[in-house]
Every structure is written in C-alpha cells, then in structure tokens.
Amino acid sequence: EGEADAVEDWAAGRFPGVKASLVPAGPVVGAGFVDEEGMRERQTFPIPEDDLVELSKAFLLNLFDDPQGVRERMADDFRFVAPVVPATGDGLPGDELIAALTQFKVLDAVPDLEAQQYDFRTDPFEPSRVWWTSRGTGTNTGPVFGVLPATGKRYVAPPQSNSLTFNERGEITKFTIGYVMDKDVGTTGGLGGIFGIFYAIGYGLPVPEAQPWRPSPIYRALFASGNLLSSLRKLAR
C-alpha cells in the first residue's frame, strides 16, 4: 500500500487521461538514458550553450535572402553536408554553398517561405554542436530558377534534423541539414532540404537523389516474402 501511495503522490496532477497501469512508478532512469545536464556541466568548450544558439540563429536568419552576408561566419575549413550532398568528397566548402543558394533563388520561387525552426540545443556529446528541428511551409508563386513558371503548389516540409558545429572563435566548421525524421509528413515525398522544396512545388530535380525514395525490386521482394529476417539470412549464405 505504501508503494502505491508513493506512485499516486508522484503522479498527482500529471498524466491526465492516461490509464493508471501506464503511469511510471517514478522518474524514469536507466543505463540507456544519459545525464544531459551533468554532461553539459562538465563540458569545457568555452562558448556557453545559450550563446551558441544565438550564433546559430544569427547565421540562419538571412541565409536564403543574403547568402553572401553569412560568409564571415564560416570558418576556413567550413563544410556543408546533407543526406545526398555532396556527391563526392566530405562536404561543400562555403563558397560553393553560397553559389548554390544564390543560383537556386528559393525566395524568388517561394516568397512566403516560413522555415519554422525550433528546439535549438547543444549536443551533450559534442558541446560545440547545436542541433535544431525545422519544418517549413510556403507556396510557389514566383519563377523557379528564375525562368520556370510558378505552379501555385504548396510546400509543407516534414520535420528535419539540422546542426551547426563551431570552433572556439564562434565560426562555423560544419553545417548539416535535411535529415528527415518522419517521411510521412508533408508534401515533399519524404525529401528534406532544398530538394524537398522543389519536389513539393512540382519541379523535382531529374536525378534519383532528388526524388522520393523507392525500394529496389530485391528489397521489395524481401518484404513481400513475409519473413524479412529469414530472407536476409538466405542472402548472407
């Protein structure tokens, strides 16, 4: 009875509408959960979390409408990495990223673009790295790539994970974007980043990497067999 009373006291005013059998007996702890607060207190990176978040937002604020203006924030060894970018090497350097953003003219094509970026926080394992989530909405009412007619189609992005990594001078050394967290959400066919924008508005780039994922015939057959593990074992023999 005493244990039941303790659970009831701990859960008082919490878990509205949840079945009593599903309510944890107390704060959930275990080897699989890291002590984020403790890890952050022990980190030695000189720039505090709140300041790194502000530096991140300052970089992102005008990234699309003034890409040249953010060049100063990129370190000499800056690199940009997305799920299928670059095609070779370990990342695009800053000048190449700026050139690409300038050529894509995203805000000309989608003037009402809302990036919907939120949940900024540092990584307890990499204290110089800021992660955040983005979604995004907009409508194609302007010319695409400067010449193609607007389709009027709506862009609704899935939630995506993104990051910025800084050096001790507050310069950005690595920028990652477009890692989709739920491909069922939105109008991009599960694509993130700029490729997702262009696919949603009807101008998906004509390469497999910029189109929604499609399973190969062999992969499809593995699932169709009804026993994926058994099929994989047979292939491995």
Residue 150 belongs to domain with CATH number: 3.10.450.50
Query: What residues contact residue 23 under an 8 Å CB cut-off, 6+ apart?
Result: 7, 11, 14, 15
- Confirm whether 5 is domain-assigned: no
Token couple for 163: 């990051």
- Confirm whether 221 is domain-assigned: no
Pairing of strands 74-81, 172-180: parallel
pLDDT over threshold 60, residue 187:
yes
- Confirm whether 51 is domain-assigned: yes
Query: Averaged over 122-132, what is the pLDDT?
Result: 98
The answer to whether the beta carbons of residues 132 and 121 sit under 8 Å apart is: yes
Residue range 3-59, pLDDT digits in tens:
555 566 888 899 999 999 999 989 998 999 999 999 999 999 999 999 999 999 999
- Confirm whether 128 is domain-assigned: yes
Paired strand residues for 166: 172
pTM of the model: 0.89
Q: What is the pLDDT of residue 5?
A: 57
Q: What is the pLDDT of residue 154?
A: 98
The range of the structural domain enclosing residue 81 comes to: 45-205
For the chain, what is the domain count?
Answer: 1
Token couple for 107: 């805000």
